[in-house]
């Protein structure tokens, strides 16, 4: 039973792939499906690189804050700095920058956190400009293929001095297929772009919220007061 189901899906996937290849070849009569395909491949490459980078940057922030506060109480600023240096992600980098300047006062620590926060944000958003460019030009390549296809259809009409459907159908079909290809590529890349942006927004929000907690912890430590430790849910690991 299981093997029959697997065989069915394999055959369905093979049939779907064959249809895609066939439509690509039909729409590529003027050569305009290749720019659409190249744009899609480049956009997907950037998307995959961003997903890997963002997943590596994602940590259990609450647990990390607790560990930093424990290091502050047990070993002071140096112990907390060492912990941040051993932890990946933008939150740890921002924490380390603030701790390194904490001996110069709270204002210096806040400025360091703000400066390094901007740097980390630029690292998180790197490549998204190119992804948005590919989202814009993929449909444009498709529309350009549409225009070329319609010009081809009218050229065929002019050459044959006839407007029968059989003469113009080829050019119109190329026009519609290139439009569909460009729109599909744009939709796929737009979904990937929005996913990356939502993940970056969450990481930035965590970074800003955690920075406030760090400044409060440094103030309490300097005043000799106990640190306010946030609750930690070990099951709420990074998504």
Which has the closest alpha carbon to 101: 91, 114, 90? 114
Residue 164 has phi, psi (to 5 degrees) of: -65, 145
Instruction: Specify if 195 maps to a domain.
Output: yes
pLDDT at 237: 47
Residues 178-184 have a mean pLDDT of 91
CA 23 – CA 176 distance, rounded (Å):
11
pLDDT at 7: 45
Share of the chain above pLDDT 90, in %: 38
Instruction: Specify if 169 maps to a domain.
Output: yes
Instruction: Specify if 1 maps to a domain.
Output: no
* More confident of the two residues 234 and 65: 65
User: What confidence tier does 10 reach under pLDDT thresholds 50, 70, 90?
Assistant: very low
Instruction: Specify if 14 maps to a domain.
Output: no
How would DSSP label each residue in 65-105? HHHHHHHHHHHHHHHHHHHHHTS-SHHHHHHHHHHHTGGG-
Domain with 126 in it: 30-222
Instruction: Specify if 7 maps to a domain.
Output: no
CA 199 – CA 69 distance, rounded (Å):
26
Q: What is the pLDDT of residues 82-136, one digit of tens each?
A: 999 999 889 999 999 999 988 888 899 899 999 989 999 999 999 999 999 999 9
Pick from 35-44, 181-190, 191-200, 215-224: least confident: 215-224
Mean pLDDT of the chain: 83
Tokens of 92: 């740890």
For 167, the 3-state DSSP assignment is helix
DSSP state of 31: S
Total domains present in the chain:
1
Residues 6+ positions from 7 with CB-CB distance below 8 Å:
none
| For residue 77, pLDDT beyond 90 | no
CA 20 – CA 189 distance, rounded (Å):
18
């Amino acid at each position: 039973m299981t093997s029959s189901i697997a065989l069915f899906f394999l055959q369905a996937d093979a049939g779907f792939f064959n249809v895609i290849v066939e439509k690509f070849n039909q729409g590529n009569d003027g050569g305009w499906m290749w720019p659409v395909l190249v744009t899609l491949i480049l956009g997907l490459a950037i998307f995959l690189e961003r997903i890997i980078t963002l997943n590596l940057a994602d940590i259990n922030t609450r647990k990390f804050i607790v560990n930093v506060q424990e290091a502050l109480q047990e070993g002071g600023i140096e112990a907390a700095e060492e912990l941040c240096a051993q932890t990946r992600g933008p939150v740890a980098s921002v924490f380390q920058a603030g701790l390194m300047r904490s001996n110069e006062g709270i204002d210096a620590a806040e400025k360091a956190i703000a400066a390094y926060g901007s740097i980390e944000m630029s690292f998180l958003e790197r490549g998204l400009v190119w992804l948005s460019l590919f989202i814009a030009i993929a449909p444009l390549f498709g529309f350009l293929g549409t225009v070329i296809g319609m010009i081809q259809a009218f050229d065929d009409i002019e050459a044959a001095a006839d407007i029968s459907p059989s003469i113009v159908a080829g050019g119109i079909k190329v026009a519609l297929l290139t439009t569909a290809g460009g729109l599909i590529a744009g939709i796929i890349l737009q979904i990937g772009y929005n996913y990356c942006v939502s993940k970056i927004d969450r990481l930035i929000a965590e970074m800003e919220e955690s920075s406030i907690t760090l400044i409060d912890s440094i103030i309490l430590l300097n005043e000799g007061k106990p640190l306010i430790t946030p609750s930690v849910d070990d099951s709420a690991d990074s998504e």
